[in-house]
Copies of this chain bind each other. A is one copy, B any other.
Amino acid sequence: MLTVAYDGTAYCGWQLQPGKETIESVLNRCLSELTGETIEVIGASRTDSGVHALGNIAVFDTDSSIPAEKFSYALNRRLPEDIRVRGSREVAADFHPRHCDSIKTYEYRICNAAFPIPTKRLYAHFTYVPLDVCLMNRAAAYLVGEHDFKSFCSADTQAQTTVRRIDSIAVWKEDGVGNHTAADENACTAGREALQYDREIVIRVAGGGFLYNMVRIIAGTLMEVGREKIPPERVKDILAACDRQAAGPTAPACGLTLVGYEFRL
C-alpha cells in the first residue's frame, strides 16, 4: 500500500485513459520497471484532472523481494517531481481501498483577494468577491450527517445510491501573516497589503465517501452562500430537492486537494 501525494496540474486525473498521462499510468509504469512485473495499482480515490493529493492510497500485488517499507524510497527515485510516495507498507492480500470503511478528508482552497496571487494560482481557486466565512460555516452545518446528496452530485453519476455520510465540514480563513512591525501611518501601504497575501479560505470536508464532483459542488454552493447569493438556511432545501439544479456550480478542480485517508486495516 502506497500513500501518494501529487500535484495534479499536469495530469489527466488518476484513472487510466488511453493515450493520456495519468497518476495511475505513471505509478503502473514506474512500479513495473522497478519490479520487472506487470503492476496495476488500485487507487482509493480516482481524482479528476487537475485535482491534487497529499495522501491518496494505492495498493498492488507483487512477488518482489523489495521490503514493503523500501518501496517508497525506490519509487521516488523513478517518479517525476510532481508525484511522491510518502510511505509504503504491506497490507492483507484481500484489502481493497475502495471497499473498506474509511474517512476521507478533502480541502477546497479559495484565494479571496483583490487580485490573483501567482504563486497560489495552481492550488487555489481565485475569486475577488469577498466571501463571508461565518455564513459559509452556518450553511455547511446542514450538510453534516447522513443525507441523500443527489443535489450535490453530477447528473451523470453511476452510483447506485446517492446517500452519503459527512462527518465534519469546517470553513476557515488562513491569514498566513505573522507579526510585522507596525507601519508608520505615512508609510506607503503597498508593502503592507502585500504582507497580507495568503488570505485563503479553506473548506475541509471529511466523510465516509463522496459522489462524483460532490466536494466541488459543495464548495461552489458554499461560495454562493459566502457572497450572500444564497442564505445559509437554503442549503436544507437544496438537500431536500434531490436535484442537481438546486445547488450551486461545480467549483474548479485546481482548488481541490485530497488531504488524506483513515481506515482500519
Give residues in A with beta carbon < 8 Å to B: 1, 3, 5-7, 52, 54-55, 57, 72, 76, 81-87, 89, 102-103, 105, 114-119, 121-123, 167-168, 170, 172, 174, 176, 178-181, 183-184, 186-188, 190-195, 197, 202, 204, 206, 257, 259-265
Contacts and interface: CB of A to CB of B under 8 A. Distances in A.
Nearest to A104: B191
Given A52-B119, A84-B117, A184-B262, 13 more contacts: A5-B119, A52-B118, A54-B194, A54-B197, A81-B121, A82-B118, A89-B190, A105-B180, A105-B191, A119-B122, A188-B264, A190-B261, A195-B260
Count this chain's copies in the assembly. Answer: 2
A34 to B, nearest CB: 17
Contact of A262 (B83, B89, B192): B192
B260 A190 contact: yes
A9 to B, nearest CB: 9
B263 A187 contact: yes
Contact of A260 (B5, B72, B194): B194
